[in-house]
Structure 1
């Protein structure tokens, strides 16, 4: 499944996959979509969990949604599937980490069974975005430097 975290490790999670390369084609002159989501009109908080539209549902209704089948997306070049998870010192996670300057990313390889279903995830890479004082460790230029 594609998410904004795919950009955390382009070479593993996007490169060589034409469908994902089409979604994540950003440079200083081009942006393929103006809002989150492939449709370009803000697909919502999460493509799997919603929000979702149900005919006849009204605000305040309780819905039960079951995800019946889901398989990790393999990169067609590598045959592997990766996932990313972030820890941040902002938003909902801020209440957990308190005033510590935590902003980091974990990249996992999804280990699958013969039918393509995820069995477990193995950590492959960890990097911090800030040092203990909250100063950025990773700096990305806003324009080409050469």
Structure 2
């Protein structure tokens, strides 16, 4: 039932080895390069879509807090292609930046007031927004 053994072929029998090939770029190199490029483009596109979905989730979950930030005179905008929504303004003479973040690290808020940086739980309502501002101002 075993198949008959074929005699072993040697490299000299298949094709002679030349000193210099006609080209170092053949079909397999081109195919590998284009496949890698396609995978990189698809990965970048998937990352952008993932972050855009997070931005819409953050905007819907924190809508009351974002509206309250706008009534306080802060500008609210998405932060490019990152998974965050940012509110910027000032309290008195100090600049303030509040970032609602999502993604792999989970929902949380980064509050930057002057030279202080705080990581807080996710702020969804105006009351929690005001409490976060008061806690940031009281930490000196």
TM range (shorter): under 0.3
Higher RCO by CA contacts (8 Å cutoff, separation 6 or greater): 1
TM-score normalized by structure 1?
A: 0.23
Larger Cα Rg: Structure 1 or Structure 2? 2
TM-score normalized by structure 2?
A: 0.24
